[in-house]
Structure 1
Amino acid sequence: MPTRIAARPPHRGVRRAGRPIAVAGAVVGVVYGYDTGSVSGALVFLSREFHLGPAAAGLVNSVLVLGSVLGALVAGRLADAVGRRTTMIAVAAAYAVFAALSALSPDVVVLDAVRFLLGVAIGVSIVVAPLFIAESSPARVRGAAVATYQVACVAGITLTYFLDWALAGGGHWRVMLGLSALPAALVVPPLLRLPDSPRWYVLTGRLDVAAEVLAATDPDVDPVAGTAAIARELAAERTGRGGALERLVRRPYRRATVFVLGMGFFCQITGVNAVTYYSPEIFRTLGFTGTGQTFFLPSLVELVSLAATVAALFVVDRAGRRDVLLTGIGTMTATLVALALLYGAGAGSWAGFAAVTIFTAAFNFGFGSLIWVYASEAFPARLRSLGASVMLTADLTANLLVAQFFPALLATAGPARTFAGFAALALAAFVFIAWLAPETKGRPLEEIRAYWRNGGRWDDPAAAPPARP
């Protein structure tokens, strides 16, 4: 790999590229959140039109997640092969096409097929969008920049619920599913004008372009020295034995792999998407009746969650990743216990609503915001995209289990036992995260590699860059 970085005219779209990249990633996040949550309201009406039983209705949800698992599995290799930006363009175009086709589906078979393909696009996007943002952000604000993606996702889900509530009177499920096609199509032209991340240009040997992009995206570092540091990191990774997947399960990165697999799985198995996918049914079990309440109340839940996600944005680079994450998981555990007790005692519906609201907000403050940050930070450059794929594949596998089996659990075990089970899983998640999660605030991506190589210890803990206001 060349060590001299030549000066050359600026690459198209390079000037002041950091903020537009974050904005473009956020728009993709809004579309992802909308497409994830839109089925919650649409399912009530399309089930009637297509005469769906519980299993078939569950499949409409789980087939999207199944496609997402496949998308996450291939996303890392795709992002390395064609670039982060090109992959994002393909994702945005796929969102637009498959959202429109969902709205036009003549029967449930076509709808399931289209939602599977939409799920593939979702799986790719949730790996690549945070990766693109993280690799194009200064270390001092990287946590907030990546957490912005979660803000966008929650904003998309919140928008879904308000639109579902507005459209519920006419049963317009096709409009609910198809509305996201427009913003997805509109984000493609801006993406075409952006550069790729500096690390991808170094990965492909284009050090001169990498330096230009680094100068535009990270004013805190010298672009030549920063590019050389990335190049050294990649060169050191190239000297390791075995392929990328083999190296994930061997020392020194075995510990990192266990961490990301566990975090990804616990993020979803603790039940947040039971609320996202089946909130009207959950509110019915709490005693709420009528379309107005069962559709409007989830909107309020997501509005509070959006506020919690914005709060995480402001503290993740100050308080640190671990404190934010553990605070969120601890609050989730407490509210799940409260919800199980309320169901067991047959307590009032508004207390249950409060518990669901705080649980969802706590998820988005902790797990929801930090999974994207850790997915983009946990591995060195050459393993980063594959590592993010591994984490989010575990996340989506747990999501698939919740999407498919939550309705049956609710019907057979009852809500009290179901939410008690989620509480036990949340407690296990707290212990796991307290054991393995590193504090990475303020550290360059290349420096984090040393933590795992040292068996989960920093070379010099006192040398951690201070969080900046």
Structure 2
Amino acid sequence: MSMATLPATPPPPSSRTSHRTGRMFALTGAVVGVIYGYDTGSISGALVFLSKDFHLTAAEKGLVNSILVFGSLVGALIGGKLADALGRRTAMLIVAVSYAVFVALSALAPNVVVLDAVRFLLGIAIGISIVAAPLYIAESVPARIRGASVAAYQVATVAGIALTYFVNWGLSGGGHWRWMLGLSAIPATLVLIPLLRLPDTPRWYVLKGRTDRAVEVMAMTDPDVDPRAEVAAVGAALAAEGGGSARSLLHKPYARATLFVVGLGFFCQITGINAVTYYSPQIFQEMGFTGDGQNFLLPAFVELASLAATVLAILIIDRIGRRLVLLSGIGTVVVMLAVLTTVFAMGELHGTATWVGFGAVLLFTAAFNFGFGSLIWVYASEAFPAQLRSTGASVMLSADLVANLLIAQFFPSLMAWVGAAWTFGGLAVLALGALGFAFVTAPETKGRQLEEIQGYWLNGGRWPTPAPETAP
């Protein structure tokens, strides 16, 4: 793209207007994150009551969760192509409309067959949102607030999970599982209002050859740059990204980086975080907590601790380094799963042992969000060059969702078949494997330029030796 093809720079909007527009992009994406988090957590409370209404077996309970994850895998696989073909904003509109329609239909489901079908469709919308929402934010806000804005989406997702537990607690007295599932239709509908008013991202307009609109939107959203020069830079970056293919990930020099992100994505979920998200009332009942109200309120405090851990990781990750944050988070996960295994092995629980178990669940969830939850997308975005970055992230997300599918489907059956102690003991072994994997493969990339990080993988997982300085 030559500079001659770019239109004249439009009159710059006021700094206040640009800041307001950038914040609106970030806020809109964050609301989608809250909705996603709410939908992820709402089933944990609803499942207690709908299982009784629909007379579900343990395997059928697992299918109610896993069918949504399977839909999410499908949505994630098509989300990137959809966002490229129709636009990031259009993909977000599809997500918001689909959320509103499918959560309303799930709340009205007359039987489990209809519920599973609707949740599969809802899962597709969730999978698209996982791809489209961070992309929409990252490409729309000024560079100096981009990291915080994308991180805000992650925080919003955890906040949405925390919110759903408080809602579940408030509705548990009457067993109102249909309201638990259906309430997120309201924010999903409301988020359509800003989406209909906001433009698409400058990067997508450049992708479609609409450079005049790209310059206009760039001037609207980022007062810190020359919009013509920035659009030209975006065009050059897009040209550089051409030619990246999934096949390239399987061959040198990127096979090692692919193994790292795929392994990290798989271990992120197979260690059991969504067992707590989906089945926490059942877990607390196994610990000896009685009463549906208590078993719905306790997970809310667990998620509040997770929210605090996520914020803490974001604040310190660029100060103490990625590797230390990741390893300390996974190490704490291993210890807490070992504690849970010991607690459940004691048999019938009461008194101090019950509260030790609760503390272990709280610290397990917080440690996950501090380590795995905060770092997985950072490493995925740093491991590959520009032309393979989105493909590598999609591969990592697919591994993540496959592991999530296994946990969602088989956790309740394992609890019923071999018991809580053996189930959590198995998760502890997997977490120990995750710790060893991360210790061997995770590089420390704090303060490194992307080109330096790519050199690490090109050099077989070792930092290249700097060239010796020559004397003047």
TM over 0.5: yes
Q: Secondary structure at the match of 1:289?
A: coil
Task: Please list every run of 5 or more consecutive structure 1 residues that lacks an aligned counterpart in the other structure.
Answer: 463-469
Identity among equivalent pairs (%): 67
- Per-residue CA deviation, residues 19-51 of structure 1 (Å, 9 max, x unaligned), is 222211110010001111111111111111112
Counterpart CA distance in 1 for 2:221 and 2:375 is 22
Calculate the TM-score normalised by the size of structure 1: 0.88
Show CA shifts across 1:213-247 (max 9, x none).
55555566655554444433332332x4xx62222
Deviation at 1:434, TM superposition (A): 3.3
Paired amino acid for 2:184: S
> Mean Cα displacement is larger for which, 222-231 or 7-16?
7-16
Q: 1:235 aligns with which of 233, 239, 262?
A: 239
Question: 2:327 & 2:319 partners in 1: Cα distance?
Answer: 15
- After superposition, residues 450-469 of structure 1 pair within 5 angstroms as 452-453=457-458, 455-456=460-461
Matched AA of 2:2: P
Unaligned runs of at least 5 residues, structure 2: 468-472
* Among 162, 166, 169, the residue aligned to 1:162: 166
Residue of structure 1 equivalent to 2:343: 342
State which of 412, 415, 418 in structure 2 corresponds to 1:413.
Answer: 418
Which of 197, 201, 225 in structure 2 is aligned with 1:197?
201
The code of the aligned residue for 1:232 comes to A
* Residue from 78, 95, 98 that aligns with 2:99: 95
Q: Counterpart of 1:316 in 2: which secondary structure?
A: helix
Letter in 1 for 2:365: T
- Structure 1 residues 96 and 276 mapped into 2: Cα distance closer, same or farther (>3 Å)? same
Structure 2 residue 276 is matched with structure 1 residue 271: no
Contact 1:41 1:173 (8 Å CA) reproduced: yes
Equivalent residue for 1:80, pick from 62, 81, 84: 84
In structure 2, do the counterparts of structure 1 residues 23 and 289 end up closer, same or farther at CA, with 3 Å as the change threshold?
A: same
Q: Taking structure 1 as reference, are residues 2 and 401 closer, same or farther at Cα in structure 2, changes over 3 Å only?
A: same
Partner Cα distance (1:303, 1:331) in 2 = 18
In 2, distance between residues paired with 1:262 and 1:409? 23
The within-5 A match list for 1:113-192 is 113-137=117-141, 141-192=145-196
User: Partner residue of 2:250?
Assistant: 249
Cα deviation digits, residues 288-322 of structure 1 (max 9, x gap): 11112211111111121122122223223433433
Q: Could you tell which deviates more after superposition, 152-161 or 407-416?
A: 407-416
Larger radius of gyration: 2
**Matched residues in 1 for 2:306 and 2:18: separation?**
34
Separation in 1, partners of 2:436, 2:52: 43
Deviations 1:397-432 (A, max 9, x none): 101100111112122222222212212222222232
The 10-residue stretch of structure 1 (324-333 or 22-31) with the greater mean CA deviation from structure 2? 324-333
Contact kept? 1:102, 1:177, Cα under 8 Å: yes
Q: Is the 8 A contact 1:381 1:446 kept in 2?
A: no
Q: Structure 1 residues 442 and 214 mapped into 2: Cα distance closer, same or farther (>3 Å)?
A: farther
Question: For the aligned residues, what is the CA RMSD?
Answer: 2.9
Aligned AA for 1:133? I
Q: Check whether the contact 2:58–2:416 (CA below 8 A) recurs between aligned residues.
A: no
Do the aligned partners of 1:71 and 1:122 also contact (CA within 8 Å) in 2? yes
Paired residues, what number? 459
Cα displacement (A) at 1:182:
0.7
Equivalences for residues 218-233 of structure 1 within 5 A: 223-233=227-237
Aligned position for 2:397: 392
* Cα distance in structure 1, aligned partners of 2:435 and 2:142: 29
